[in-house]
Amino acid sequence: MRRIFLVALVLLAFAGFAMAQITQPTTDVLGAHLNYGRGCTACHSPHSGTSGNGQASSVSSGNKILWGEDVSPLYGKTITTDGGKYVEVLPTSMSADTPDVSGMLTCLGCHDGNMAPAAMMKNRVYENLPATYGNRNSIPTLMTGSGAGNYMSEHPMGLNATVDCGGTSGWDCTEMNGVITMSGSASRRFVTSYGFFVQPGVYNNKAVVVCTTCHEPHAMNVVTVGRNSNSGLPAGTYATMFFLRAPYNPNDTNPMSNQTAQFCRQCHADKSNEMNGSTAGTVF
């Protein structure tokens, strides 16, 4: 009888995981970055980057991810985030060998608080939002703050926004040359329960937060967990939103779901179950 009970518990657990998985997305995974049908060429030019897009050679992106948009107006721009606590000075060229080139500068080519007509942005959210959000689908998709170019209220990012192990808010992890390993007892439990999907940039041998730390611009609504993923979740495809790199689904019908909180806890360890003595795992 006890064996039957244990088998039933295991089946229920995997059933819960199965509900969190989506086996086949019904929309193109590129989502909003299809840019009204332009697709990949909205951002990339397959021949010589900006030069191939007819831009002047002075603003050429060269071979840097064959970036096809002119981001030269952003060169050297100073950004302050989190109420001015963090200062980021954007690179002065696409050839700068820093993670804020492809991790921030390229993103801000469209998401800089101004319309980007070349990318056909419509200033509307493309996500299938929960019904409880009402009709608020005309919210800005641009990185604005209180106005164009105002980043004060944004999440810390840039070469000074480091991700640290230890201290009052960090995981019991280790960092070597900017690479974080979730090696402590609490951080290992978190990875088993959820995972460590974020991809910090590396600058001066320190892990730093850039746009692509949290966002994967090529997949809006799905995250694939495979054998090589830094996650203990069963392999499969999981729902996400807003191009986030990990399972994140506020539209989950389970009122006890904590997966959206788990995403933030990848860096904010002091808000996690594990670092507060709780044995609760990820609930889908």
pLDDT tens for residues 20-36? Answer: 565 577 889 998 888 77
The answer to whether 201 and 213 have CB atoms below 8 angstroms apart is yes
Segment 259-271 shows an average pLDDT of 97
Instruction: Tell me whether residue 235 is in a domain.
Output: yes
Residue 3 lies in a domain: no
- Is 247 inside a domain boundary? yes
pLDDT at 86 over 80: yes
Question: Mean pLDDT over residues 142-160, rounded?
Answer: 68
Please choose, from the candidates 129, 94, 90, 84, the residue with its C-alpha nearest in 3D space to the C-alpha of residue 112. Answer: 90
The residue out of 157, 192, 224 marking a domain boundary is 157
One domain, residues 147 and 115? yes
Residue 239 lies in a domain: yes
Nearest to 206 by CA among 181, 180, 183, 187: 180
Beta bridge partners of 72: none
- Specify whether 98 is located in the same domain as 131: yes
**Residue whose token pair is 């721009």:** 77
Domain that holds residue 124: 43-157
* Same domain membership, residue 142 and residue 76: yes
Whether residues 171 and 267 share a domain: the answer is yes
Of 102, 125, 157, the residue that ends a domain is 157
> What is the C-alpha to C-alpha distance for residues 221 and 245, in angstroms, rounded to an integer?
10
Domain assignment of residue 4, yes or no: no
Do 171 and 32 lie in a common domain? yes
- Whether residue 127 is found in the same domain as residue 170: no
The predicted model gives 150-169 an average pLDDT of 87
CB atoms within 10 A of CB 213: 23
Check the CA dihedral 219-141-100-62 and report its sign.
positive
User: Any residues with CB less than 8 A from the CB of 127 and at least 6 apart, and which?
Assistant: 31, 32, 220, 221, 241, 242
Task: Give the number of other Cβ atoms within 10 Å of residue 277's Cβ.
Answer: 7
- Banded model confidence at residue 120, pLDDT cuts 50, 70, 90: very low
Determine, yes or no, domain membership for 1: no
Domains held by the chain: number: 2
pLDDT at 156 over 80: yes
Condensed to tens digits (0 to 9), the pLDDT of residues 180-239 reads 999 999 999 999 999 999 999 999 999 999 999 999 999 999 999 998 899 999 999 999
Amino acid of residue 66: L
Same domain, 138 and 194: no
- Kindly report, residue by residue over 65-83, the tens digit of the pLDDT: 888 877 888 889 888 888 7
258 located within any domain: yes
Q: Are residues 195 and 281 in the same domain?
A: yes
Q: Give yes or no: residues 89 and 113 share one domain.
A: yes
Q: Is residue 98 a contact partner of residue 159, using CB atoms and an 8 Å limit? A: yes
- CB neighbourhood size of 204 (10 A): 10
| Same domain as 79, residue 27 | no
Query: Strands, DSSP E only, in the chain?
Result: 78-81, 86-89, 158-162, 174-176, 179-181, 201-203, 206-209, 222-225, 236-239
Q: Which amino acid is at 180?
A: I
Chosen domain end from 140, 157, 174: 157
Task: Please identify which residue in the block is written with the tokens 């990185």.
Answer: 143
Same domain? 221 vs 247: yes
151 and 205 co-located in one domain? no
By the 8 A CB rule, do 221 and 31 touch? yes
Q: DSSP secondary structure string, 179-226?
A: EEE--SHHHHHHHHHT------EEETTEEEE-HHHHB-TT-SSEEEE-
Handedness of CA 269, 248, 259, 226 (dihedral sign): negative
Question: Strand pairing partners for 181?
Answer: 174
The mean-pLDDT minimum among 6-20, 167-181, 187-201, 233-247 falls in 6-20
142 vs 120: CA distance, rounded Å? 13
Assigned domain for 2 exists: no
Per DSSP, the three-state class of 159 is strand
pLDDT at 254 over 60: yes
pTM: 0.83
Residue type, 216: E
